[in-house]
Amino acid sequence: MLGCGFGGLFAVRALAGKPVRVTVVDRTNHHLFQPLLYQVATAGLTAPAVAAPIRHILADQKNATVIYGNAECVDLARRAVVLDGGDEIAYDRLIVATGAANNYFGNDAWEAYAPSLKTLEDAYEIRRRVLLAFEHAERETDPAGRASLLTFVVIGGGATGVELAGSFAEIARHTLHGEFRRFDPRNARVVLVEGGERVLPGYPPALSERARLQLERLGVTVWLGKTVTGIDAEGVQLGPDRLAANTVIWAAGVAASPLGASLGVPIDRAGRVIVGEDLAIDGHPEVTVIGDLAALPWHTPPVPGIAPAAKQMGTFVAKNLVLSLRNEKTKKFRYKDVGMLATIGRNSAVAVLGKLHMSGYPAWLLWLLAHIYFLIGFRNRIVVLIDWAIAYWTFDRNARIVIQGRKEP
């Protein structure tokens, strides 16, 4: 089992008590509750509230061994995974669930100026940049310099971009209110740039429009149909337009983890591995690929790249594995639609549940309940609930601590 995100975790859990030995390899020590990661980036939650040590989650699953390491490649012929440092792990069956990475569409130089949000490290970096921009603005005497420090640009109008932009606006409008002497943080400018004609392109158009209105009400400037042509230390170039901004966040593209391409089997344009109806790769029924790394071109409607899809695939391959051990007939994967939810800010969200479309406060309540319910681990749920309750009443954000990166010796 490579990767312990939603797909990997649900697969290994579905194998508990089965007559198999499972080795879980992950390059972090924690399972991350990705849907709430943006709250770590925006100082609403602490890292432990959205992450739990993998070996703690699996402590009681005696057939599972957890290995902290980075899978560098898979040798399909020899049936072995090569880890960093050269260690090898032989396998009879392999589940690849290493997920997605960021995608700058060939402009990797932009990453230094516009970090994106995939890992806890990313979240800390974004938090650091946003909070320090306000700190530096208190020292800045040049009005243009201060305006640039107080301009926050989020590129990409998908769920992550919308959540980040909404949170930045709330930080400026509410959280930091009254804490600066030389400027009013409410004058900070948050710009959400989307190349397409609407935000949340995966949602029905009417909900995209509602989301845009809710963002504008929070104080976010939404720019649609604008393509980024350059990012540097001073700001963003949008074709002929220039936006001076000290803080730019990239939420525009997701590519598959590079491990997918290393398998040497067909991949799609985003680098995702094309799998069959049993989620195995062509010619290797012992190797399945699940979650954001898997492409299912034969599945209509398309399977969305969200947590419920990864969980369903994880459980599916585990069950199929047990069936095949018993020499029973394996099944074909079908995604069961559970809807989609995106939050925008305090009391604002949009939701699609089958034919039911919601927005505003009811959608936000639904989002709140769903996320607390699905958070891994009893303790995290309690902590997140308390943090949110306090934050809701006080408008404060508790995790506003800047930790500078430490240089490695």
What is the binding site for its own copies (CB under 8 A)? 28-30, 46-49, 51, 53, 55-56, 58-60, 65-69, 87, 111-113, 120-122, 124-125, 131-132, 135-136, 138-139, 178-182, 379, 382-383, 386, 390, 396, 398-409
Give whichever of 135 and 184 is closer to its own copies, judged by the CB atom.
Answer: 135
3-class secondary-structure state, position 310: helix
Which letter does DSSP use for residue 265 in this model? S
Give whichever of 206 and 390 is closer to its own copies, judged by the CB atom.
Answer: 390
- 264: which residues sit within 8 A by CB, 6+ positions away? 76
Per DSSP, helices labelled H in 295-396 are 307-325, 361-374, 378-394
The answer to whether the beta carbons of residues 397 and 171 sit under 8 Å apart is yes
Least distance (Å) from its own copies to the CB of residue 65?
A: 5
Give whichever of 114 and 349 is closer to its own copies, judged by the CB atom.
Answer: 114
Which letter does DSSP use for residue 360 in this model? S
The answer to whether the beta carbons of residues 290 and 312 sit under 8 Å apart is no
Per DSSP, helices labelled H in 173-236 are 205-218
Give the integer Cα–Cα distance in Å for 171 and 190.
Answer: 10
3-class secondary-structure state, position 222: strand
For residue 368, CA distances in Å to 221, 341, 344, 385 come to: 25, 10, 12, 9
Least distance (Å) from its own copies to the CB of residue 268?
A: 30
Q: How many residues appear in the chain? A: 409
In the annotation, is 163 catalytic?
yes
Give whichever of 116 and 214 is closer to its own copies, judged by the CB atom.
Answer: 116
Give whichever of 28 and 107 is closer to its own copies, judged by the CB atom.
Answer: 28
Give the integer Cα–Cα distance in Å for 134 and 136.
Answer: 5
Least distance (Å) from its own copies to the CB of residue 216?
A: 28
Give whichever of 131 and 341 is closer to its own copies, judged by the CB atom.
Answer: 131
Amino acid (one-letter) located at 179: E
Least distance (Å) from its own copies to the CB of residue 403?
A: 5
Does an H or E element contain 193, and which? Answer: strand 189-194
Least distance (Å) from its own copies to the CB of residue 277?
A: 34
Given 140, 163, 170, 194, the catalytic residue: 163
Least distance (Å) from its own copies to the CB of residue 82?
A: 13
3-class secondary-structure state, position 54: helix
Least distance (Å) from its own copies to the CB of residue 228?
A: 18
Tell me the sheet residues that pair with 190.
152, 220
Amino acid (one-letter) located at 102: N
Least distance (Å) from its own copies to the CB of residue 399?
A: 5
Give the integer Cα–Cα distance in Å for 27 and 47.
Answer: 17
- 338: which residues sit within 8 A by CB, 6+ positions away? 308
Query: Which of 98, 103, 97, 107 is CA-nearest to residue 255?
Result: 103
The answer to whether the beta carbons of residues 156 and 250 sit under 8 Å apart is yes
Give whichever of 336 and 407 is closer to its own copies, judged by the CB atom.
Answer: 407
The answer to whether the beta carbons of residues 393 and 62 sit under 8 Å apart is no
- The residues assigned a catalytic role are 163
